[in-house]
Amino acid sequence: MKKTTVVQSPDWANLLQDIILQVFQYLPLLDRAHASQVCRSWNQVYVRNLERKYVLQQVQYTCF
């Protein structure tokens, strides 16, 4: 009897958010925006990262 190997494709939507964020950091901003449209979890990482940068920029401007 021949053994059949089943290869499952990775579930990209279930990557850890830290890993997605690290990948996004290597991408130009426009590519990040495109990648954020892959699925809901990737979009959440993108939006949270943008919000954090925006808040940090506001804090820097108000501190000076």
Residue with tokens 């290597």: 26
Number of domains in the chain: 1
The whole domain housing 35 covers 15-63
What CATH number does residue 59 fall under?
1.20.1280.50
pLDDT in tens, 36-49: 898 888 899 888 88
Q: Domain for residue 3, yes or no? A: no
Q: Domain for residue 39, yes or no? A: yes
Q: Domain for residue 4, yes or no? A: no
Q: What is the pTM of this model?
A: 0.58
Which residues neighbour 24 within 8 Å (Cβ) at sequence distance 6 or greater? Answer: 32, 35, 45, 46, 49
Instruction: Provide the CB-side half-sphere exposure for 40 (13 A, CA).
Output: 0
Q: Domain for residue 5, yes or no? A: no
Q: Say if CB 45 and CB 23 are below 8 A apart.
A: no
pLDDT tens series, the chain, 64 aa: 677 777 677 777 777 888 888 888 898 888 988 988 988 888 998 888 876 765 555 555 555 5
Q: Domain for residue 6, yes or no? A: no
Q: Domain for residue 50, yes or no? A: yes
